[in-house]
């Protein structure tokens, strides 16, 4: 029985080692659509959007190139687990400085690289175009979060007004036809009564 237990323990140990090796390999896998050499992950000029951006990068990455894409924001926590990261290039992306940019802003504030901070600027909304993301105040960013709500509220008001106008027109048409039908009914009854009398 002891020999059987040793065999089971050895099998479990081998399994743990194999799984551990697979996890290490998974961490080192180059994200699809990017080019990797050593600890450099190059995802620049790939037409990536915030939705098509890889969800993770190898933990051993020292340089991450994300410049010249169509990124409008970075997913929250994307860069947090990359302890070896020394350089990130983010310029040439149309950053939207609304609520979604808060993670990128917070991450940039923690960086000591002034050149990096100077290369990441807002593309929208128009009131913030050209402003550096890292130097936006939290109040300005939070205020910009609501700029689309005004458009939505206006669209809702216009839709409601159109709905009310259409309902009023339909009601007027129904009333007209009811009156017309009522008049026809009265005329028909009168005609029937006259023909009965004669």
pLDDT of residue 24: 39
pLDDT higher at 187 or 25: 187
| Contact between residue 121 and residue 130 where contact means Cβ atoms under 8 Å apart | yes
pLDDT higher at 111 or 28: 111
How confident is the model over 47-82, as pLDDT tens digits? Answer: 999 999 999 999 899 999 999 999 999 999 999 988
Q: Mean pLDDT throughout 95-113?
A: 91
What's the pLDDT band for 16 if we cut at 50, 70, 90?
very low
Q: Mean pLDDT throughout 18-41?
A: 70
Domain boundaries, the chain: 31-145, 146-180
Residue 148: pLDDT over 90: no
| Contact between residue 63 and residue 86 where contact means Cβ atoms under 8 Å apart | yes
**How many other C-beta atoms can be found within 10 angstroms of the C-beta atom of residue 150?**
9
One of 3.40.50.720, 3.80.10.10, 3.40.50.2300, 3.40.50.300 is the CATH number of 31-145, namely 3.80.10.10
| Residue (of 87, 86, 84) closest to 59 by Cα position | 84
Q: How far apart are the first and last CA of the chain?
A: 120
CA distances for 155 relative to 145, 159, 163, angstroms: 17, 6, 12
Residue 140: pLDDT over 70: yes
Q: Token pair for residue 57? A: 């990068």
pTM of the predicted structure, to 2 decimals: 0.58
């Amino acid at each position: 029985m002891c020999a059987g237990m040793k065999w089971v323990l050895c099998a479990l140990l081998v399994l743990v080692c194999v799984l551990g090796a697979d996890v290490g390999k998974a961490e080192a896998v180059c994200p699809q659509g990017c080019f990797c050499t050593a600890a450099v992950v190059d995802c620049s000029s790939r037409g990536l959007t915030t939705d098509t951006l890889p969800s993770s990068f190898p933990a051993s990455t020292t340089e991450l190139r994300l410049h010249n894409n169509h990124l409008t924001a970075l997913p929250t926590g994307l860069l947090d687990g990359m302890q070896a990261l020394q350089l990130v290039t983010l310029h040439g992306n149309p950053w939207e400085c609304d609520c979604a940019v808060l993670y990128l802003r917070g991450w940039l504030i923690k960086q000591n690289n002034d050149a990096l901070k100077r290369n990441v600027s807002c593309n929208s909304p128009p009131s913030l175009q050209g402003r550096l993301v890292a130097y936006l105040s939290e109040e300005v960013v939070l205020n910009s979060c609501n700029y689309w709500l005004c458009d939505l509220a206006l669209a809702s008001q216009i839709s409601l007004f159109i709905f009310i106008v259409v309902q009023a027109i339909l009601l007027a048409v129904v009333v007209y036809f009811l009156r017309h039908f009522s008049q026809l009914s009265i005329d028909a009854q009168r005609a029937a009564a006259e023909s009965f009398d004669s």
